[in-house]
Chain A
Amino acid sequence: AQTVTQSQPEMSVQEAETVTLSCTYDTSESDYYLFWYKQPPSRQMILVIRQEAYKQQNATENRFSVNFQKAAKSFSLKISDSQLGDAAMYFCAYREYMDSNYQLIWGAGTKLIIKP
């Protein structure tokens, strides 16, 4: 079974600085999708960014960007100009095709702390 690994249980960053959250995954597929979701204290799971494996260009969404390295099976999230509202759990997820259906496989999450 595919797995998603987030090796940093917790990260902290000074407000306005840049932080990178790491994610690695294991797959034998060539075409797949990767996601970063944010879970603030409100518990809501919010999609941050999405990357399609067949696209070489790294996805960006405003202050959020990814460093997608397909050969290394790495999918890190960079948050620029960190804001207090970015404090949350961040989950990396891989979209797996299984039994004629796509399902998300989740990492354990990284808790991001923003220092004012």
Chain B
Amino acid sequence: DSGVTQTPKHLITATGQRVTLRCSPRSGDLSVYWYQQSLDQGLQFLIQYYNGEERAKGNILERFSAQQFPDLHSELNLSSLELGDSALYFCASSVDRGISGANVLTFGAGSRLTVL
């Protein structure tokens, strides 16, 4: 157990729907990162939050949004879902805000989203 908790583990939904993925970071970590991993692909960075504030944004679609709450858990909202959004969504956490190159990310087990 890495200490990063993601729910749900699996989610099946239909096109056009909206889902919310949840992440609780490891105790003491202030940064939360969201990544998307499509089939047989590497990870694509979506967005990072540090202590409640957006820190960096990657290739996140406008249909997607995220936030980090005062208790540091984060939610990734995916709306108007398309077939191509089917993927594994990872959350990772770290203690700092990303200014250290040596910073190591701890990953959750991922949420597998299937859009039918």
Please state if A108 and B2 are interface contacts (CB–CB under 8 Å).
Answer: no
**A38 vs chain B, min Cβ distance (A):** 11
Looking at chain B's contact residues, is the secondary structure mostly helix, strand, loop, or mixed? loop
Chain B residues with CB below 8 A from A35, complex form: 104
Please state if A44 and B107 are interface contacts (CB–CB under 8 Å).
Answer: yes
Please state if A102 and B100 are interface contacts (CB–CB under 8 Å).
Answer: yes
Selected interface stretch from B11-19, B35-43, B64-72: B35-43
Tell me the chain A residues, 15-70 only, with Cβ under 8 Å from chain B: 31-33, 35, 37, 42-47, 50, 52
Counting CB contacts under 8 A, is B116 at the interface? Answer: no
Please state if A45 and B92 are interface contacts (CB–CB under 8 Å).
Answer: yes
**A5 vs chain B, min Cβ distance (A):** 10
Counting CB contacts under 8 A, is B98 at the interface? Answer: yes
Please state if A101 and B98 are interface contacts (CB–CB under 8 Å).
Answer: yes
Please state if A50 and B104 are interface contacts (CB–CB under 8 Å).
Answer: yes
Q: From B42, B97, B112, give the contact of A108 (CB < 8 A).
A: B42
Chain A residues with CB below 8 A from B41, complex form: 108-109
Q: How large is the interface on A (under 10, 10 to 19, 20 to 34, 35 or more residues)?
A: 20 to 34
- Find the B residue at minimum CB distance from A9: B40
**A106 vs B109: C-alpha distance in the bound complex, in angstroms?**
18
**B24 vs chain A, min Cβ distance (A):** 15
Counting CB contacts under 8 A, is B56 at the interface? Answer: yes
Counting CB contacts under 8 A, is B99 at the interface? Answer: yes
- Find the A residue at minimum CB distance from B94: A102
- Find the B residue at minimum CB distance from A103: B45
Please state if A50 and B102 are interface contacts (CB–CB under 8 Å).
Answer: yes
- 21 sample A-B contacts, Cβ–Cβ < 8 Å, listed by A number: A31-B101, A32-B101, A33-B102, A42-B109, A43-B88, A44-B107, A44-B109, A44-B110, A45-B90, A46-B2, A46-B107, A50-B104, A91-B42, A99-B56, A101-B99, A102-B98, A103-B58, A104-B45, A108-B40, A108-B41, A108-B42
A residues engaging B (CB < 8 A)?
Answer: 4, 31-33, 35, 37, 42-47, 50, 52, 91, 95, 97-104, 106-109
